[in-house]
Structure 1
Amino acid sequence: MTRHNGVEDPKALHIGGRPVAADLRAMAPDLSRRVLARLLDELPVYATLPGEEVAGDIAEIVQQSVRMFADAVEARRVPDETELAAQRRSAQRRAEEGVPLDAILAAYQLGISMVWSQVSAGATSADHTDLRELLAMLLDIQRRILCSVTESYLAARRTIDSEEHSGRHALMAALLSGTEPDGAVRAAPRYAVLTLRLERHPDEDAAAPGVAARRKIRRVREALDAFAQQPCLTAFRADRGTVLMPLDDDAVVLDHDGLRALITDAADVAGAPLTAAVAVADVAEVPAAVARTAEIVDLARATGRPPGLYRLEDVLLDYQLSRPSAALPALAARLEPVAGKPELLTTLRTYLRLDRDRRTTATALHVHPNTVDYRLRRISELTGLSAHRTEDLGELHASLVARQALGDRS
């Protein structure tokens, strides 16, 4: 029986001689697992959600709801809106991910039905009064939850649907096109302009790639907004994004170290590697900054740099080498003799990136160190340039960058 400070609570609801609230708390983990199993079995949309989401957000809200029922039964009152904050947040997230409202409502109804089946099992005629009160309470809780969740979901959808025509989108369109903002939303004095390359989350290869991609993007957006302490202007697709992060008048220097840590953290929460480039721009400079950061991201990835944040200063030489000029085709042609041998180009690129360490290169390529030596020797025989001669290293590197700048991805 339910006790407080060792004294039995005479007002506690009992079914079959068991205190309902204490029973629900004790069985919450097992009951939550069974509810989750039925959701996956009976509601098709839940079976298509990313595995990480089902095991994380969905499982957490199911168990939290079971414990909320226990608290409500113990207090013998329907939870208020404050106590339903977790359910409201969950509904907002599902709205952002495109999960249908009817599936969410069906999930709560299924869960409440299973709670009732569990607590009413073993009831006897002596439990008639408590059983009636419990049923009435569960129905009131169900009504409150469904109304609160529906309101939160629809509010989120209205925000999402209206954003396409909002002043923020109009402002971003104006900034990207270099036209004068119409004044409906005030532009910031300056922006940190970011281009992001988002690799695929493992769940994007599963049954619900759209949901997984939207979830990944939502988490990245939330991390960026938290860093900026205000909403950023964003345009995302599954693999790429443009972000205009407002900077205040007093933000003389961008916190690059903080932003670099943010990109690392955002990649962690998104569950996918991120490569980003940043430049600070006045309003009139935004279009050029967007083009430049896009080039830097592509250059960082093409030259085998790891995910993370890059500035122009981080890739100065390669950026300059990749600029259109009369010398660019000639530089690219220095490696033309091995153009049809991608294993040689890959070995050279990896060997230079790993500070000319043959053993580390062999490990990265999953080959024997002798194979690395053989391939480097073949490159020297075919091109006349040796990765072992200091005077040839610059030209080899420049030729690789030139080939990538001209579209060779071998």
Structure 2
Amino acid sequence: MSHDAGTPTPPAFDGVVLHQRLSDALPVLAGRVLDRLVDHVPVYDTMPGEQLRGEIQRVVEQGIGSFAAMLRTGRPPDESQLLALRQSAAKRAEEGVPVEAVVRAYHVGAQECLQQMLVHATEDDLEHVQAATVLVLQFLERMTVTVVAGFFAERQAVLGEEQSARQALLTALVEGADVAGTAARWGLDLPPCYLVLDLAIGAHPDEALDGVSPVIAAKRKLRRLRVELDRHVDGTVLSALSGDGGLALIPCRTDPDHVTGQDWTRLAGAVAHMRKVAGVDITAGAASAVAEDVPAAVALAQEVRRVAAASERPPGLYRLSDVLLEYQLMRPGPARDELAGLVRPLTARPELLDTVRAYLRCGLSRRRTAQELCVHPNTVDYRLRRAAEITGLDVTAGPDALRVRAAVSALDAAGGP
């Protein structure tokens, strides 16, 4: 298969070298490849005819020409020969064509070329068929590397620009700056309103494991959270998240007055999925607002989340309507201070205050309270009696239970974050 040690003999079928067969059949072969792309790679069937029979056909012809040169010399194409293919892959990335479709197109083209050439092979050409097959695989390897590199170089540039646009719009929304102007400069559309989430994110167990980088564990957690949020939400989410929390603005198709309970249920479901996939606790305060009112909605969502946490609500999504009583009780003022004063003496006896909290949290059930605190029910009864003696309020009595609950919420607000 070689004239000398350094120059391979070009493979030939039925006495005609393959590179010559490819060159002679180039126009017809390029048309066959295009037809096969349309049939086997769906995205190419959606391209305009002018693009398909113009730019794409030229790229196909250049690919066949590069392979013909490789068959003649035995050497893979260099970077200058592959420049057009790299540029074509970058254009497909810009157009949003999936990378798997781009890579598959080159494999489909190579298969078509090989099949059209194999019909000329005879029984005596086995060695040449083997040589040609090896060259096809080497060519595809070089082609795949070139195409993927070109595709992702462009995709990274596009993603960088998209991320800059999102960050600029998020900043403008949160700061109450020129939102409409910022959106116009970056070519972004503003939705009728945003659903605002203020998130508190718990630590993943991996973040505390010996030998595991907490930074890497936190980044993996955030990646799962972002992917899950994008998967369950329509439209582009604007977010600024860190390991322990952050902000997310969810586009909504209706104005704030027409956001339905179903919309909030779907968003609560998305938060629940985020918790499950990431394996962490998430408490979220939520509000809705038009673009101009996002700063106020951010402040409200943050306050709702803090109230939910201070009142020991379980992880999940909360709106103002979910914590109305606690929210109002936690407003600063003389009434709140006096209300907190009703149970403030219990701060000197933490075990009594903790028992009162647990009793309220457990629906006024002494048995559940004992289980949660890992004590005997009689111990719960004793502590609740002592708390009643100190405060004058009996949390086990109907008339006092609501007052004690309100007083504990006020105490949390007065001494909380």
TM-score per shorter chain, which class? Answer: 0.5 to 0.7
Aligned partner of 2:170 in structure 1 is 172
Residues 147 and 352 (structure 1), Cα distance of their counterparts in 2 relative to 1, 3 Å cut: farther
Indicate yes or no: 2:212 matched with 1:204.
Answer: no
Shift, 1:344, TM fit:
1.6
Indicate yes or no: 2:371 matched with 1:359.
Answer: no
Q: Is the 8 A contact 1:338 1:344 kept in 2?
A: yes
Q: Is the 8 A contact 2:207 2:215 kept in 1?
A: yes
Aligned partner of 2:7 in structure 1 is none
Indicate yes or no: 2:231 matched with 1:226.
Answer: yes
Q: Secondary structure at the match of 1:355?
A: coil
Q: Is the 8 A contact 1:171 1:187 kept in 2?
A: no
Post-superposition Cα deviations, 1:338-382, rounded to whole Å, max 9, x if no partner, equal 112222222111101111111111111111111211211111111
> Which amino acid is the alignment partner of residue 401 of structure 2?
L
Post-superposition Cα deviations, 1:306-342, rounded to whole Å, max 9, x if no partner, equal 1111111111111110111211111111112111222
> Which amino acid is the alignment partner of residue 195 of structure 1?
D
TM-score (norm 1): 0.62
What does 1:1-400 align with in structure 2 at a 5 Å threshold? 85=100, 158=157, 166-181=164-179, 182=181, 183-184=184-185, 185-206=188-209, 207-249=212-254, 252-254=258-260, 255-400=263-408
Residues 151 and 359 (structure 1), Cα distance of their counterparts in 2 relative to 1, 3 Å cut: farther
d(CA) in 1 for partners of 2:196, 2:386: 44
Q: Is the 8 A contact 1:278 1:311 kept in 2?
A: yes
d(CA) in 1 for partners of 2:409, 2:323: 11
- Two-structure CA RMSD over aligned residues (Å): 3.2
Residues 305 and 142 (structure 1), Cα distance of their counterparts in 2 relative to 1, 3 Å cut: farther
d(CA) in 2 for partners of 1:145, 1:306: 50
Moved more, 347-356 or 337-346: 337-346
Q: Is the 8 A contact 1:193 1:280 kept in 2?
A: yes
TM-score (norm 2): 0.61
d(CA) in 2 for partners of 1:200, 1:238: 8
d(CA) in 2 for partners of 1:373, 1:201: 36
Residues 173 and 371 (structure 1), Cα distance of their counterparts in 2 relative to 1, 3 Å cut: same
> Which amino acid is the alignment partner of residue 279 of structure 1?
A
d(CA) in 2 for partners of 1:234, 1:279: 15
Q: Secondary structure at the match of 1:385?
A: coil
Q: Is the 8 A contact 1:235 1:241 kept in 2?
A: yes
Post-superposition Cα deviations, 1:200-257, rounded to whole Å, max 9, x if no partner, equal 1112223222222222222222222233322211111111121111112489324122
d(CA) in 1 for partners of 2:154, 2:279: 27
d(CA) in 1 for partners of 2:159, 2:243: 17
> Which amino acid is the alignment partner of residue 306 of structure 1?
P
> Which amino acid is the alignment partner of residue 273 of structure 2?
D
The percentage of aligned residue pairs carrying the same residue is 40
d(CA) in 1 for partners of 2:216, 2:346: 43
Q: Secondary structure at the match of 1:167?
A: helix
Aligned length: 288
d(CA) in 1 for partners of 2:174, 2:138: 52
Q: Is the 8 A contact 1:84 1:145 kept in 2?
A: no
> Which amino acid is the alignment partner of residue 194 of structure 2?
Y
In structure 2, list runs of 5 or more residues that go unmatched. Answer: 1-88, 90-96, 104-127
d(CA) in 2 for partners of 1:406, 1:195: 22
Larger Rg: 2
> Which amino acid is the alignment partner of residue 175 of structure 1?
L
Post-superposition Cα deviations, 1:277-303, rounded to whole Å, max 9, x if no partner, equal 221111222111111111111111221
Residues 352 and 156 (structure 1), Cα distance of their counterparts in 2 relative to 1, 3 Å cut: farther
d(CA) in 2 for partners of 1:343, 1:132: 83
d(CA) in 2 for partners of 1:283, 1:83: 33
In structure 1, list runs of 5 or more residues that go unmatched. Answer: 1-80, 89-128
Residues 177 and 399 (structure 1), Cα distance of their counterparts in 2 relative to 1, 3 Å cut: same
